[in-house]
Structure 1
Amino acid sequence: MLPIKKKVVYKCNNCGFEAIKWSGKCPNCDKWNTLEESIVEAKKSSSAKNSQIIRRPVQRLADIQSSKSDRIVTDIGEFNRVMGGGIVRDSITIVTAKPGAGKSTLLLQVAQDVASKGLKVLYASGEESESQIKNRADRILGELNTNIWVVSDTSMDNVLASIREVDADLIIVDSIQTFTLDEHLPSRAGSPTQTMECANELLRIAKDSVRPRAVLLVGQMNKNEEIAGLRALEHLVDAVLIIDGENGEELRGITASKNRFGSTGETSFFSMTEDGMKPIENPSEYFMTQREGNTEVSGSALTVVREGTRPIIVEIESLVAVSFTPYPSRISENLKREHLSTLISILEQRGGIDFFNKNVVVKTTGGLKLKEHSANLAIIMSIVSSAKDRGIPSDTLFIADIGLTGELKRVPSLEARLKEADRMGYKRAFVPRKALQKQIHFENLKVIQLNTLGEVIDAVFK
């Protein structure tokens, strides 16, 4: 028989408060020298109890029947995309972002959409009162569905009771770091113990084979832009969604850094408005300036980037101006300064254009951050266009990386990028020579394969 585990606590003889360590003054009643040592039996965790009660049978892997997970498909297409096709009914997902990025707003919109399909939703908040949630819902949702229940409490025990009372199909917890389980007190909310144990209780709720439920958690983000707490929390859940966007800016990108039921790295886009998060259904139109006809504007160049599995056409704008200081500026909101400086150095050495007394500013239309090197040729060509004050035809794209030698380098998924350009009606695309493995017929697009940066500059500006 296993020995009974015991632990030492310090109990105040004045108010009965229990502390895990001794101190001269009781933290609860402020009386001095009232904490007395006592030994109590340690409580068994609920996970230990469950492990004794429930034992799932061992099965051969070959004998298990595989099936696609049942999903709740919402009417928010961009949310379905990043989730892999919808919310899996027996899954647990964590959504994280910096304060003010729109986590609670998005999940409230998801709650309304799921409730409109006849499913029950419980929204549990440890940060906002019921009236605060109601005010935000009135502002962004309008007429509220009666299938949404709200509980404002920091006790996970009360939330679990509310889940059983409502018999909710979807549970939203905002945020997991604000809740506590009574059996793990006096550990404070947000501590590794409380956060992991609360998440484990919700995991058991979600994975119940008799009554599966979907769980969406909000996870607070620390100053390193990671989920606050133990890394084990990310391993526990099925999917991790990260909302990227600066306060005051409209664009919000949601990336799945982990997804057991979809593509890891998939990205969707939303526009933050006063009426909530609006999906950007056609990003290729959002990330470029709509101009009439074949207008040529100096400093503008187009490329095709991949965000997740989707190719997107992006406009890159540059401004080259004379500097009146000894150290010219290199400014960009959408790529690292070191990256921009490297491209300018390549252009100076291999393109024959001097920038020793020029300021260079680069940005993207719509504020999209450039994460891959397929945009390098377009960045350089937009700078050349501004430096020469000559526009590039708006039906032309550039899809290539640039080596330090000035040679064009191939990029992954080039065929998919070119098909998107052809679908959008573009006429010319500059790519590296021998980048296409096979001959492809395009309806509108002419693919021009060149070797070096100099050849591209000559072909465009003659």
Structure 2
Amino acid sequence: MKSKTVYICSNCGNESPKWQGLCQNCDEWNTFEEQTKIKETISRNYDRPRKEIIKLSDVTSSNSERIITGINEFDRVMGGGIVKDSLTIITAKPGAGKSTLLLQVAQDLCLKGRKVIYASGEESESQIKSRSTRIFDKASENLWVFCDNSLNSVIYHVNKVNPDLVILDSIQTFQIDEIKESKAGSPTQTMECANELLKLAKNPERPRAIIIVGQMTKKDEMAGLRALEHLVDTVLVIEGDSDEELRGLSVTKNRFGSTWERGFFSMTERGMISIDNPSQYFMTKREDEKSVSGSAITVIRDGSRPIIVEVESLVSASFTPFPSRICECLGKDQLNTLLSILEQRGGVKLYDKNVVLKTTGGLKLKEQSVNLAIIMCIVSSVYDKPISNDCAFISDVGLTGELKKVPALESRIRELDRMGFNKVYIAKGALGKNVKFKDIQVVEKNTLIEIIHTVLK
């Protein structure tokens, strides 16, 4: 058995035979820590397997039981609830609401008769109590709190209390007592802790759900080795800055459901409030006689569901050689492209005008299906003519000024129909034949100039 000294980066896990100030892998300074590696010669036995091999056709499939929290957006992102024998990791910037959301999940499950242990390696019992007092009136008797960074102690209390859900906040602050050569937060400790938690969750005699919090680096990536993401069943990310009210909960990996789902929450003094009807949240409700210029409605596809979004613009005279192009909701290149199409194909001159663009609620726009609505809200602002509140636009616009079809058009229109809209403009031939809607009228046009003349004549 031999031992040697190596240096491992605490940020990315890169290994070096000597100490370095700058990690060549992740470009972080002063992250290398000295560790002793023991290499021993092991005689391997291939004669007696630990488990027998079986045919795939003989395996009995079973649907995993889910724990419903009652927080609609959280349950939807998780694929219908928390799987009872799963390991989930959630990460976000500091102050985004990770601990707040998980404490709400714990409280809601406890009120349904479930037992939950909330273990924290970075906060005290009094800090957790102060947060709970802020977001709910009285803590459930089924909610247990443990504040220490020893994973051994956590597992001891798990075996004693026998909870249905264990929350660990955060994985980088915990350590296994037997691994004395590595401190909490090192790649070795983090991965060993995660593996122990995986065994705890997948125990066939007593399966239980475990949610761990992962810290985020300055580059908005989960801290630690990439292997941590591969180990867990589900990866959740909370989007949104601490000074903003809107929060997005997205899933980038889910072995028990679809990926790239996103739920929306509103951060308030009483915690994270689930936005169960995003279409209503991301548009301004106005009376018919109070339509305003510079506003247009479209529908985006966020994960598996359509969401109605209001796009707003403000166009004003510019007294400088280079007019301003300010946009909070999409890239400047996309905005400049749409302005060029509007000038050349729509006949609207903007060379001497400032253009400001945003969405209600601050939602980012990434789809081409919003292009027609963006152009129409700018045209409405230029001519100071309002677009009817019950009208929407779903189409891409080509460089030729022609309208283009977009994916999942039928489901988008059905969302408008559900929300009571009366008319939607789309590209001609984009919708399949024999598609019927309850109340909404579908208007098909070929070009951008036809839309402008029809809507703002």
- Residue 378 (structure 1) shift: 0.6
Match of 1:366, SS state, is coil
Q: 2:153 is matched with which residue?
A: 158
Q: What amino acid is aligned across from residue 287 of structure 2 in structure 1?
A: E
Match of 1:190, SS state, is coil
2:179 is the counterpart of 1:184 = yes
Normalized against structure 2, the TM-score is what? 0.89
Contact kept in structure 2, 1:294 and 1:395, CA below 8 Å: no
Q: Following the alignment from structure 1 to structure 2, what is the Cα–Cα distance between the partners of residues 359 and 326?
A: 11
Counterpart selection for 2:364 from 359, 363, 369: 369
Match of 1:230, SS state, is coil
* Identity score, percent: 60
Q: How does 1:293-312 map to 2 (within 5 A)?
A: 293-312=288-307
- Residue 294 (structure 1) shift: 4.7
Q: Following the alignment from structure 2 to structure 1, what is the Cα–Cα distance between the partners of residues 162 and 2?
A: 37
Contact kept in structure 2, 1:295 and 1:393, CA below 8 Å: no
Counterpart selection for 1:421 from 388, 406, 416: 416
Contact kept in structure 1, 2:172 and 2:184, CA below 8 Å: yes
Q: 1:18 is matched with which residue?
A: none
Q: How does 1:69-218 map to 2 (within 5 A)?
A: 69-218=64-213
Q: How does 1:333-344 map to 2 (within 5 A)?
A: 333-344=328-339
Contact kept in structure 1, 2:288 and 2:388, CA below 8 Å: no
Match of 2:364, SS state, is coil
Q: 1:244 is matched with which residue?
A: 239
Aligned pair in 2 of structure 1 residues 357, 188: CA closer, same or farther (>3 Å)?
Answer: farther
- Per-residue deviation, residues 368-404 of structure 1 (Å, max 9, x unmatched): 1112221111111111111111100111100011222
Q: Name stretches of at least 5 consecutive residues in structure 1 with no aligned partner.
A: 11-20, 24-38, 45-51
Q: Following the alignment from structure 1 to structure 2, what is the Cα–Cα distance between the partners of residues 348 and 369?
A: 24
Q: 2:308 is matched with which residue?
A: 313
- Per-residue deviation, residues 80-108 of structure 1 (Å, max 9, x unmatched): 10000000000011111111111100000
Q: Following the alignment from structure 2 to structure 1, what is the Cα–Cα distance between the partners of residues 222 and 271?
A: 24
Q: What amino acid is aligned across from residue 90 of structure 1 in structure 2?
A: D
Q: Following the alignment from structure 1 to structure 2, what is the Cα–Cα distance between the partners of residues 105 and 193?
A: 28
Q: Following the alignment from structure 1 to structure 2, what is the Cα–Cα distance between the partners of residues 292 and 9?
A: 72
- Residue 459 (structure 1) shift: 1.2
Q: Following the alignment from structure 1 to structure 2, what is the Cα–Cα distance between the partners of residues 287 and 191?
A: 42
Q: 1:327 is matched with which residue?
A: 322
Q: What amino acid is aligned across from residue 6 of structure 1 in structure 2?
A: K
Aligned pair in 2 of structure 1 residues 295, 40: CA closer, same or farther (>3 Å)?
Answer: closer
Comparing 337-346 with 213-222, which one deviates more in the overlay? 337-346
Q: What amino acid is aligned across from residue 257 of structure 1 in structure 2?
A: T
Q: 1:395 is matched with which residue?
A: 390
Q: Following the alignment from structure 1 to structure 2, what is the Cα–Cα distance between the partners of residues 330 and 233?
A: 42
- Per-residue deviation, residues 166-193 of structure 1 (Å, max 9, x unmatched): 2121010111111122333322322222
Q: How does 1:4-83 map to 2 (within 5 A)?
A: 5-7=1-3, 55-83=50-78
- Residue 345 (structure 1) shift: 1.6
Comparing 150-159 with 135-144, which one deviates more in the overlay? 150-159
Match of 2:434, SS state, is coil
- Residue 41 (structure 1) shift: 6.9
Aligned pair in 2 of structure 1 residues 22, 343: CA closer, same or farther (>3 Å)?
Answer: closer
- Per-residue deviation, residues 376-434 of structure 1 (Å, max 9, x unmatched): 11111111111111100111100011222222121111000011111111111111111
Normalized against structure 1, the TM-score is what? 0.88
Q: What amino acid is aligned across from residue 231 of structure 1 in structure 2?
A: R
Q: Following the alignment from structure 2 to structure 1, what is the Cα–Cα distance between the partners of residues 18 and 279?
A: 63
Q: Following the alignment from structure 1 to structure 2, what is the Cα–Cα distance between the partners of residues 43 and 115?
A: 47
- Residue 135 (structure 1) shift: 0.6
Q: 1:353 is matched with which residue?
A: 348
Q: 2:256 is matched with which residue?
A: 261
2:278 is the counterpart of 1:283 = yes
Q: Following the alignment from structure 1 to structure 2, what is the Cα–Cα distance between the partners of residues 69 and 43?
A: 40
Match of 1:183, SS state, is coil
- Residue 326 (structure 1) shift: 2.3
Q: 2:378 is matched with which residue?
A: 383
Comparing 441-450 with 177-186, which one deviates more in the overlay? 177-186
